[in-house]
């Protein structure tokens, strides 16, 4: 993976702005610790930081089509193209000559051959900027599911863009400000963010499956990929075999790497399936055992299970690792390390996140990065197979809102009355929900119950999954680790989109289709393990420290968080020993405290203005 940033300006000669461009590029050092580069012309400036994964000696960026000739087309690319070998062969047959072995050059030449249709041919995770100097046009492109991020801001003379907001913030043309919409996104919809909203005022995110075109006087957003609803033609056995074949192919494609590679293994069916398929593919190729990693906490064995964390990971992790034959490492995360990691995570995400859950993920990824540069994850299986509790909860399914928010209190409940009156969080959430429902591809004549399940799957893919993918990308890239997600292969997502619920959950078994498709690869207790969420720490000290920080904020008359949050409401909840409402729907007594303290830290560190 890499980091890309840039600046288009019709009113300024950017050939004299190299210092600013390099400052923007330097903010992405963690995404690309191996190399950097900049490219400047009169109206375009592109910067790049590289994490070398394929073609270590080639693939330097930004990549021009004619490095020795006059300005032409230049690419700044972040991602991995898993079908680059097939596309390379096709392009060579069409007369293209390649200078490198990199997938970056395949992306560049695909655009030279097919123009804006090129992304429709890609299988991978990517976010990139392509500048055509002859026609003075910029393309910003993002992968089908939005695994890789890309932000942009329109200013009077053009646009700024970057893989992360910090790159755009490094340009003096952009200021960190929060308006009513941003406040609503941060407090009312942290678990269902609006597609394309960059939180900061005036900052946008290229939406998944979209490209943005920028020319003089015009910025347009175009969609190159969408799900299409149709009758599912296959019976149960064919569906199961097709899912297995698609997933196995996705995993095998994503093993391509010129650097050490591993898997993330939680002991659930999702990550265990990916690990087992990866191990089998490596065995067929005559390669060694695959390494796997998991996370654990001191005292976790003493924790009482709940509706979200139904079982402990450790026994299932060990069973899966032993059965598959991985070289496994369990990363133990102590309390003090979690506390120390909080600032690094805030800087990685450029916004308040999920507190200790982000911190523990950061520490896991940091340890993984000591031994591997690439990791395969089981992320997104629950969204495409229907593994979350809300898929099986009649009340949540019937609720006229995002089903995971049914019966939940969001941090918006803590807003000051005058702020809430301007933000109108309930109205904002309702409007966001109705816009999302309007985007669902319908199937004529579909029974109401199946149509509702289709709606919930679409909500899961477009509103629930994006913050999970963003979290994984930003936290992993903060330590220079590339995380790949085979379940986000768009071919698998397209196929499963039209599989009826009765086949996805046979006999009411959650993710029964996936379990049956990979059962022969896994020990029975892993194949049938109930859904268990990402672990949160049982640490007492972590809670104590955050409680003390919250009390310090209450005593600080200038704490910026209380420009937004009702000080007395927080004081009352702390005095009563009640948890503050948090940004995640998973039960977490410390989540609301984390959010409160992080919002204050973020407002200070990023000097966020309120509009």
Find the catalytic residue in 2, 30, 262, 488: 2
Using CA atoms, how far residue 270 sits from 212, 273, 398, 512, 517, in Å, is: 33, 5, 27, 12, 11
8 A C-beta contact, residue 550 and residue 597: yes
d(CA 551, CA 553): 5
8 A C-beta contact, residue 458 and residue 439: yes
Distance from the Cα of residue 132 to its chain's centroid: 28
8 A C-beta contact, residue 508 and residue 407: no
The residues with which 415 forms a beta bridge, in sequence order, are 565
Binning the chain into helix, strand and coil, the percentages to the nearest 5 are: 45, 15, 35
Name the residue among 63, 38, 45 with its Cα closest to residue 7. Answer: 45
8 A C-beta contact, residue 220 and residue 204: no
d(CA 371, CA 482): 12
User: 369 is written with which tokens?
Assistant: 């990065």
Parallel/antiparallel/unpaired status of strands 44-50 and 35-40: antiparallel
Name the residue among 236, 241, 270, 243 with its Cα closest to residue 503. Answer: 236
Parallel/antiparallel/unpaired status of strands 124-132 and 137-142: antiparallel
Show the DSSP H helices in 118-216 as ranges: 165-169, 180-187
d(CA 150, CA 209): 12
Query: Which runs of E-coded beta strand occur in 314-424?
Result: 327-332, 374-376
d(CA 509, CA 306): 19
Distance from the Cα of residue 393 to its chain's centroid: 26
8 A C-beta contact, residue 536 and residue 588: yes
262 counts as catalytic: no
User: 497 is written with which tokens?
Assistant: 């989109």
d(CA 177, CA 418): 19
The residues with which 7 forms a beta bridge, in sequence order, are 45, 160
Name the residue among 339, 387, 353 with its Cα closest to residue 473. Answer: 353
CA angle, 487 as apex, 482 and 493 as ends, to 5°? 130
Q: How many CB atoms lie within 10 A of CB 577?
A: 7
Q: How many CB atoms lie within 10 A of CB 475?
A: 28
| Active site residue ranges | 2
């Amino acid at each position: 993976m890499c980091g890309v940033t840039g600046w288009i300006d019709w009113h300024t000669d950017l050939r004299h702005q190299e210092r600013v461009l390099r400052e923007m590029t330097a903010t992405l050092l963690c995404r690309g610790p191996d190399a950097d580069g900049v490219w400047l012309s009169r109206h375009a400036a592109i910067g790049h930081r590289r994490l070398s994964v394929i073609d270590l000696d080639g693939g330097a960026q930004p990549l021009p089509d004619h490095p020795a000739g006059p300005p032409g087309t230049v690419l700044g690319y972040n991602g991995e193209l898993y079908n680059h070998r097939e596309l390379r062969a096709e392009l060579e047959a069409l007369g293209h000559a390649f200078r490198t072995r990199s997938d970056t050059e395949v992306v560049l030449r695909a655009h030279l051959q097919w123009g804006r249709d090129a992304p429709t041919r890609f299988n991978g995770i990517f976010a990139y900027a392509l500048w055509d100097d002859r026609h003075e046009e910029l393309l910003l492109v993002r992968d089908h599911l939005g695994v890789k991020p890309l932000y942009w801001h329109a200013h009077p003379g053009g646009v700024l863009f970057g893989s992360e907001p910090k790159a755009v913030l490094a340009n003096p043309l952009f200021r960190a400000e929060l308006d009513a919409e941003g406040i609503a996104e941060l407090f009312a919809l942290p678990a269902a963010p609006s597609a394309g909203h960059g939180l900061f005022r005036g900052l946008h995110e290229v939406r998944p499956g979209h490209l943005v075109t920028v020319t003089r006087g015009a910025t347009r957003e175009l969609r190159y990929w969408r799900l299409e609803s149709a009758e599912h033609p296959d019976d149960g056995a064919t569906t199961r075999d097709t899912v297995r074949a698609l997933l196995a192919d996705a995993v095998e494609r994503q093993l391509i790497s010129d650097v050490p590679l591993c898997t993330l293994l939680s002991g659930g069916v999702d990550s265990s399936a990916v690990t087992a398929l990866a191990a089998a593919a490596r065995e067929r190729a005559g390669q060694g055992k695959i390494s796997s990693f998991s996370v654990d906490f001191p005292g976790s064995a003493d924790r009482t299970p709940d509706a979200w964390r139904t079982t402990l990971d450790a026994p299932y992790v060990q069973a899966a690792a032993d059965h598959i034959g991985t070289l496994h490492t369990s990363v133990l995360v102590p309390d003090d390390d979690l506390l120390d990691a909080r600032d690094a995570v805030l800087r990685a995400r450029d916004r308040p996140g999920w507190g200790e859950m982000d911190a523990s993920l950061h520490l896991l990824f940091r340890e993984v990065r000591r031994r591997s540069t690439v990791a395969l994850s089981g992320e997104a299986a629950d969204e495409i197979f229907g593994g979350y509790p809300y898929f099986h909860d009649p009340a949540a399914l019937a609720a006229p809102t995002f089903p995971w928010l049914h019966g939940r209190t969001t941090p918006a409940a803590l807003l000051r009355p005058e702020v809430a009156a301007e933000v109108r969080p309930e109205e904002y959430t309702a409007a966001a929900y109705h816009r999302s429902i309007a985007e669902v591809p319908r199937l004529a004549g579909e029974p109401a119950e199946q149509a509702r399940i289709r709606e919930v799957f679409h909500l899961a893919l477009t509103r629930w999954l994006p913050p999970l993918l963003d979290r994984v990308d930003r936290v992993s890239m903060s330590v220079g680790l590339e995380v790949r997600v085979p379940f986000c292969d768009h071919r698998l997502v397209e196929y499963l989109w039209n599989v009826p619920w009765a086949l996805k959950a046979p006999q009411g078994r959650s993710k029964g289709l996936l379990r049956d498709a990979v059962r022969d690869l896994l020990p029975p207790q892993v194949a049938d393990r109930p859904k268990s969420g990402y672990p949160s720490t049982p640490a007492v000290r972590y809670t104590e420290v955050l409680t003390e920080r919250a009390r310090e904020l209450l005593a600080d008359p200038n704490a910026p968080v209380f420009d937004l949050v009702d000080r007395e409401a927080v004081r009352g909840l702390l005095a009563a020993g009640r948890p503050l409402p948090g940004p995640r729907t998973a039960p977490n007594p410390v989540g609301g405290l984390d959010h409160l303290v992080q919002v204050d830290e973020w407002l200070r560190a990023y000097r966020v203005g309120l509009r």
